[in-house]
Amino acid sequence: MNLPAVAVRTFNTFKDDSGFKKLLKHMGKKLEKLRDPIKRARYVHKKIDDELEQLFEDDSVKELVSCKQGCSACCHTQVAVTEDEAVLLTSIIAKGHPIDWTKLFIQAKAGNSSKDFFDLPYSMRGCIFLDQKGSCTIYEDRPAVCRTNYVVSSPELCVIKEGVEPTVKLLNTFGADSWIYSFFKVNRVNGALPFLVKKLLEKGRRSNKNHDISIGH
């Protein structure tokens, strides 16, 4: 797992466009100047939200999109995060935010392997940040990819119980995808959420540090 599929799709669509290349270069330079991982993660999340806000000014988009806070149909799949996002999530946990520890350790064993993750029982694939009602408990700090996967098809089609991803119709989020692509490229470590979070938590315990630890050291 390196780059999110939707971000890669957007890149492949516009990679030969000179304007798109300049845009990615500009985004990359901006992100490289932000050295604090938590600030950089939240900066990108804000940029993504701004891009999406413009899309949702269109009434037809509001009508077609079925995703909303509280729906967890897609929250049993493997989520890719950057190292910055893993640091952000780890800092939230370190402050006492509750998570499903059993699922964290089980999911982390799958590493970055999609096959091993989807071999897990459906009940064990739920995001570690879901509450008992299936609502995201870190909605304001949810990963970049969770912010852009808006579907214009039935939420039931997002459920992956047999390990085979169904065909869903996604809203085109090219601007937000560009930020995600640049975000993942500027991070030297990316991977599955539970795998990176567990790794950081273990290093945090050893070093007694919080958000300033790094996976690469």
Tokens of 213: 């630890």
Please count the helices (runs of H) and the strands (runs of E) in the chain.
10, 2
Q: Which residues, 6+ apart, have CB-to-CB distance to 121 below 8 Å?
A: none
What average pLDDT does this structure show over 126-138? 94
- Side chain identity at residue 116, one-letter code: D
SS3 131: coil
Tell whether the model's pLDDT for residue 49 goes beyond 80: yes
Tell whether the model's pLDDT for residue 50 goes beyond 70: yes
Backbone angles phi, psi at 126, to 5 degrees: -65, 145
C-beta separation of 73 from 158 below 8 A: yes
Q: Which residue has the tokens 């009602």?
A: 133
**Higher pLDDT pick, 149 / 26:** 26
Q: What per-residue confidence (pLDDT) applies to 107?
A: 98
Secondary structure letter of residue 169 according to DSSP? P
Sequence ranges of the domains in the chain: 5-206
Q: What CA–CA distance (Å, rounded) separates 34 from 22?
A: 19
Taking only the tens place, the pLDDT of each residue in 191-202 is 999 999 999 999
What average pLDDT does this structure show over 126-145? 95
The secondary structure of the chain in percent helix, strand, coil, rounded to multiples of 5, reads 55, 5, 40
Q: What CA–CA distance (Å, rounded) separates 111 from 53?
A: 34
**How much is the pTM?**
0.89
Taking only the tens place, the pLDDT of each residue in 61-77 is 888 887 877 788 889 99
pLDDT bucket at 32, cuts 50 / 70 / 90? very high
Q: What CA–CA distance (Å, rounded) separates 111 from 202?
A: 15
Q: What CA–CA distance (Å, rounded) separates 190 from 81?
A: 6
Secondary structure letter of residue 73 according to DSSP? T
